[in-house]
Amino acid sequence: MAIKNICCIGAGYVGGPTMAVIAQKCPDINITVVDINEARIIAWNDDDLTKLPVFEPGLDSIVRETRGKNLFFSTDVDAAIDRAEMIFISVNTPTKTYGKGKGMAADLKYIELCARQIAKISKNDKIVVEKSTLPVRTASTIKSILDNTGNNVKYQILSNPEFLAEGTAVEDLLQPDRVLIGGDTTIEGERAVAELVDIYSNWVPKEKILTTNVWSSELSKLTANAFLAQRVSSINAMSVICERTGADVYEVAKAIGMDSRIGSKFLKPSVGFGGSCFQKDILNLVYIAKSYGLDEVANYWEGVVEMNNYQKNRFSDKIITTMYNTVSGKKITFFGWAFKKDTNDTRESPAIQVADNLLNEQAQISVFDPKVDQDQVYKDLNLLNTRDPETNLKLVKVLESPYEAIIGSHAVAILTEWEEFRHYDWNKIYESMLKPAFVFDGRGIVDVNNLKSIGFSVYKIGAGNPVN
Ligand code: UDX
Ligand code: UDX
Ligand code: ADP
């Protein structure tokens, strides 16, 4: 049976781009991406492609090419499930904010709702594919719901974790390092795996499509994110030592990265990692380890998150101490709010924690980010519940131009590594700031000597050269 109709539940950062690329590469397959969030579906269907809910370089042209042909966005979840032979689950799995495992375990309520809905609607056999990051053994939960609440329909559950990184989603989908598909080792399971392998084979070389058992696939996703996050925390730990000793973390990173056993990627020091995956997945891993009584394993991985929190707080502390131990009433301009460049996503962005710390010290913050809008900034801060929304509104301004944001500021803090920040007219920025004018570079993107020659006092993370 060749797959003719795919349904993807969840039109977010994973579901949207992934289905757009599958649609482009498999013109014979009809794909419907569904979501309960009507505003999101309306945005995916907007004629103006700058309004797509997810900003990803290159995504707009793929959507233009496929939308209305074999790629559809809809709120009619039931119809899409009914029609599909293969259903991807791409819903959010945030960290639990209540009950057992609060603050650590993944909240699977959205996954469970999907499974129940699939069971209710399905009249013929389906292959259900887990795309969202899930704790190991979630497939058994999904299977149990499907088998016990359904209409005697046969299901195969596959795990096909998504490894795309935001900002490079399209590139990562078109040329993945590998595609991982986990399935049952029964004949039916292997048949289902083969169906999904066939889909990816349309553009991914066979040797890059890896098949494993379901549990290995689920755990590999958590492991990959834990290892990547660990590298960032490791280099960030070194950035602190560099600042104290006069070593330069960029030189250290280059020196160790040339060791092929270590490799050169993911060694950029930063104000901390963010994004919807790293922290969530590590906490998940910690929770799983604890649930098996493996406290040493849990503590080892928890250290990666602790280091990240330290790095975020250290950055705001540095701003405060450098500015004569008080930022009360001082205006600090944030360049960047997204958790990394080339995305409009702000989930777990270090900017949020840094801003919150500075607001606790009564600073005034003006924010400029090329892709994040005003509402999102307030939403992120209000979600912390540190102060009332009116105070956030009063203390924080979001502007549409960096040159406007900067007027009358005591300091610029760089929170995201947007390329355009490197090319700004820093002379002009200097002129419109109060003196001494400080730059705090949390992403290591500025040319320190150039800024110093303009007159700025510069702190660059891990650079080992104290502010003068
Ligand atoms: C190490 C460094 O590799 C080398 O660059 C430095 O100059 C000296 O220290 P060495 O101790 O000789 O070299 O061996 P290495 O291959 O790094 O292995 C160290 C230990 O780690 C060994 O016990 C090895 O069995 C273990 N190891 C290594 C693993 O358990 N798993 C691995 O994947 C790699
Ligand atoms: C990550 C994984 O890379 C991806 O495979 C998985 O599917 C989802 O989680 P993403 O969160 O989109 O992707 O971005 P990533 O590029 O991994 O960056 C995560 C965070 O680490 C960002 O805040 C980034 O700025 C930071 N980072 C990354 C560093 O601080 N230094 C680095 O060297 C690399
Ligand atoms: P990710 O980064 O994993 O893609 P997002 O939060 O961007 O996460 O996207 C997940 C999407 O899944 C959201 O748009 C949400 O509305 C949608 N969703 C969650 N539960 C359901 C459900 N039961 N049915 C349909 N859509 C759902």
Task: Enumerate the active-site residues.
Answer: 277
Cβ–ligand 2 contact at 166 (below 6 Å):
yes
Give the N- to C-terminal CA distance of the chain in Å, as an integer. Answer: 69
**Ligand 2: which atom is nearest the Cα of residue 164?**
7
Q: 252 CA to middle of ligand 1, Å?
A: 20
Over residues 282-298, the pLDDT tens digits come to 999 999 999 999 999 99
Cβ–ligand 3 contact at 92 (below 6 Å):
yes
Please report the pLDDT score of residue 465 as a whole number.
Answer: 59
Going from the N-terminus, what domains does the chain have, and what CATH number goes with each? Answer: 5-204 (3.40.50.720), 306-460 (3.40.50.720)
Per-residue pLDDT for 468 more than 70? no
What is the dihedral sign for C-alpha 162, 166, 168, 171?
Answer: positive
223: its two tokens: 């492991």
Report DSSP letters for 416-456, one per residue: S--GGGGGS-HHHHHHTS-SS-EEEESSS-S-HHHHHHHT-
Instruction: Give the strand pairing for 126-130 and 457-460.
Output: unpaired
Please report the pLDDT score of residue 314 as a whole number.
Answer: 98
Over residues 68-89, the pLDDT tens digits come to 999 999 999 999 999 999 999 9
457: its two tokens: 């006092």
Of all protein residues, whose CA lies closest to atom 2 belonging to ligand 3?
A: 13
Over residues 31-49, the pLDDT tens digits come to 999 999 999 999 999 999 9
**Ligand 3: which atom is nearest the Cα of residue 110?**
20
Of all protein residues, whose CA lies closest to atom 26 belonging to ligand 3?
A: 35
342: its two tokens: 């080339």
Helix (H) or strand (E) holding 213: strand 209-213
Instruction: Give the strand pairing for 411-414 and 331-335.
Output: parallel
The SS3 call for residue 214 is helix
Tell me the C-alpha distance between 161 and 146, whole Å.
20
Q: 261 CA to middle of ligand 1, Å?
A: 10
Cβ–ligand 2 contact at 225 (below 6 Å):
yes
Please report the pLDDT score of residue 466 as a whole number.
Answer: 52
Cβ–ligand 2 contact at 347 (below 6 Å):
no
Q: What is the pTM of this model?
A: 0.94
The SS3 call for residue 402 is helix
